[in-house]
Amino acid sequence: MDNRVKTGLRPRPPIGFNSGALEPGQKQIVAPRSRPSVMQAPVLVLNATFEPINVTAVRRALVLMLKGVAQAEETNHTKVHSTSKSIQVPSVIRLLSYRHIPQQSRALSRKNILLRDRNTCQFCGTALPASELTLDHVMPRSRGGRSSWENLVACCYGCNNRKGDRTPEEAGLRLQRRPRPFTLHTSRQLMRLIGHRDEKWRKYLFY
């Protein structure tokens, strides 16, 4: 993909950086995949009226709580510690004052594209951490493809390198689903998807 620095996309990692021959008796070391930090775990955000409006990370949820902007409605069994106290990690927080949520699409960004595509490569269907995904222009920029909701998809580095500066059809790839803008309806669908994995969310999402 062209102009990666200008568009804020991650560069492709070099291929074959560990492809050198091993010395006799030397074992190849494979680094274990790091476990997701508890501070990045998802937290359901409710408006003051208990209406679900967003999903944020534990880190941001704790900041809102410490500022007195929100309070925890549900917590999990994990605690985070500071030098003076420990706080139960929230699973659901509620804003203490009502926030008007405009009925419009979210800003176009890498984070929101990955969220829309559920951190899943839209060509091979593999779900990966955000650090192992990039964005791909379905119609290459060299052919007039725009950086838009309808032309950007989450993509693993393998499929991104395979596709190169071609269309999916030319590269023998097929999109899992047609990319669309991230709307409030999309956001609610994702909340319910995560809610199936966290029973504490269900009473706020299914009513």
Segments making up each domain of the chain, as ranges: 38-102+183-205, 106-171
Which pTM does this prediction carry? 0.53
- d(Cα 135, Cα 79) in Å, to the nearest integer? 34
pLDDT digits (tens, 9 = 90+) for 50-76: 988 888 889 999 999 999 999 999 998
Examine the pLDDT at 103 and tell me if it is beyond 90.
no
**Backbone Cα Rg of the chain:** 20
Map tokens 């999903």 to a residue: 55
What pLDDT, on a 0 to 100 scale, did the predictor assign at position 151?
96
Examine the pLDDT at 34 and tell me if it is beyond 50.
no
What pLDDT, on a 0 to 100 scale, did the predictor assign at position 31?
43
Do residues 48 and 96 touch, judged by C-beta distance below 8 A? Answer: yes
Q: Per CATH, which fold does 106-171 belong to?
A: DNA Binding (I), subunit A (1.10.30)
More confident residue, 12 or 60: 60
158, two tokens: 């393998």
H-run or E-run covering 93 = strand 86-95
- d(Cα 21, Cα 61) in Å, to the nearest integer? 48
What pLDDT, on a 0 to 100 scale, did the predictor assign at position 14?
47
Do residues 179 and 16 touch, judged by C-beta distance below 8 A? Answer: no
Q: What percentage of the chain carries pLDDT values higher than 70?
A: 72
What pLDDT, on a 0 to 100 scale, did the predictor assign at position 5?
42
More confident residue, 139 or 77: 139
More confident residue, 123 or 188: 123
Mean pLDDT score, 79-86: 82
pLDDT digits (tens, 9 = 90+) for 185-205: 666 667 776 666 678 888 888
Q: How confident is the model at residue 16 (pLDDT cuts 50, 70, 90)?
A: very low
Mean pLDDT score, 146-159: 95
Mean pLDDT score, 32-59: 82
Among 10-19, 38-47, 69-78, 198-207, name the one with the lowest average pLDDT: 10-19
What pLDDT, on a 0 to 100 scale, did the predictor assign at position 118?
86
Average pLDDT, the chain: 81
User: Based on the number of CB atoms within 10 Å of its own CB, is 160 exposed (0-12), middle (13-18) or buried (19 or more)?
Assistant: buried
Non-local (6+) Cβ contacts of 155 within 8 A are 121, 122, 123, 133, 134, 135, 136, 163
Nearest to 183 by CA among 81, 89, 115, 85: 115
| Residue type (1 letter), 7 | T
